[in-house]
């Protein structure tokens, strides 16, 4: 049985969330997931069961700051903003991802 396309996402969710928040103002979870979906041209869908635990964990790690606010549709939601510590983590995550993707590309190209 083939793997679900999002299985490739394992281990990259922090990177994606941090990158989206680094390029935007504070966003609520649904908006973050929608932005990732949009940027990946519908290739990646972030499920609530993965997104919200990741957001809470990253807030506990002090990579994100969470504040209550009101959405465009007048609903109460937690808005997340990247912190200086989160920016540092983003840089590390990006470096690891680029190193990994380079290594995989080499195997695909030369094996």
- Tell me how far apart the alpha carbons of residues 43 and 45 are, in angstroms, rounded to a whole number: 7
Chain segment 47-90, per-residue pLDDT in tens: 999 999 999 999 999 999 999 999 989 999 999 999 999 999 99
| The pLDDT of residue 1 is above 70 | no
CATH number at residue 106: 1.10.10.10
What is the residue range of 21's domain? 5-110
| pTM exceeds cut of 0.85 | yes
> Is beta strand 64-70 parallel, antiparallel or unpaired with respect to 76-82?
antiparallel
Report the number of distinct structural domains present in the chain.
1
Look at phi and psi of residue 88 and say left if phi exceeds 0, alpha if psi is from -120 to 50, else beta: alpha
């Amino acid at each position: 049985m083939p793997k679900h396309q999002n299985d490739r996402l394992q281990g990259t969710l922090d990177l994606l969330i941090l990158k989206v928040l680094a390029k935007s103002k504070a966003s609520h979870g649904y908006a973050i997931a929608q932005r990732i979906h949009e940027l990946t041209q519908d290739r990646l869908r972030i499920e609530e069961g993965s997104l919200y635990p990741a957001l809470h964990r990253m807030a506990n790690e002090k990579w994100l700051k969470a504040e209550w606010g009101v959405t465009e549709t007048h609903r109460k939601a937690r808005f997340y903003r990247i912190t200086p510590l989160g920016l540092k983590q983003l840089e590390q995550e990006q470096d690891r991802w680029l190193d990994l993707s380079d290594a995989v590309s080499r195997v695909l190209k030369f094996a």
